[in-house]
Amino acid sequence: MEIAGIIVAGGRSRRLGIDKRRAQLWGADGPTLLEHTLEVLAPLCAELLVVLNDPEGWPGLPARVVGDRYHGTGALGGIYSGLAAAEQPSALVVAADMPLLNGDLLRALAETVFDGDALVPLTRGAASRSGREPLHAVYRASCLPAMRAALEAGNYGVSALLNSLHVATPDPTVIAHHDPTGLAMLNINTEDDLARAQILIADRWMRG
């Protein structure tokens, strides 16, 4: 598929207190959370990029490691850094802390024809915050000038940035079809989130 895959991986995990990217939710012999995320994206994308602020700690990743161009600017800086480095004109962007990513849903987003700069789903289900989910979305290179201007002005909020772009929303019935439980965009920020993800993954494994 002629689209880049970008994982915004940061590196601080301040709210959780551990490096959640290294969590092995699939057992001691399984992948880390970051490795699992790469495995989900790999079949969907023509190139894979991981945006890290500690690239020296991740030798051997099967992806191109990209440094954060604007340190300390959160998700917006990560999205910009990956999109600016990508060779493809558009990118499927996800966070590194989403253990229940759904490959079919991501493929549907990547294949959606839309007008504008970005395709950003609305959050839904029990895992949701209100509003959009900017770290489970498709961005085009046309976003770069507005992103760069916001970063240089010290405006790091992704929601405000999206309000300045032409943003499309995926058909909610498509989202619901591929993600009926509303858990594909669940991310890990707290110990409770981590424990919940472990239970959900174990339940899926038991059900095959």
CB neighbourhood size of 195 (10 A)? 11
> In the chain, how many domains are there?
1
Query: Measured between alpha carbons, how far is residue 177 from residues 29, 57, 125, 168 in Å?
Result: 32, 38, 13, 19
Whole-number mean pLDDT of the chain? 90
Q: For residue 207, what are the contacts with CB-CB under 8 A and spacing of at least 6?
A: none
Stated pTM of the model: 0.92
Helix, strand or coil for residue 22? helix
CATH number, domain of 119, equals 3.90.550.10
Residue 7's H or E segment, with its range, is: strand 4-10
* pLDDT confidence tier of residue 28, bands split at 50, 70 and 90: confident
pLDDT bin (cut points 50, 70, 90) of residue 206 is very low
Using the predicted structure, report yes or no on whether residue 204 has a pLDDT greater than 80.
no
Q: How far is CA 44 from CA 72, 103, 106, 149, in A?
A: 29, 8, 8, 30
**CA 24 to CA 7: how far, in whole Å?**
17
Q: What range defines the domain where residue 163 resides? A: 4-207
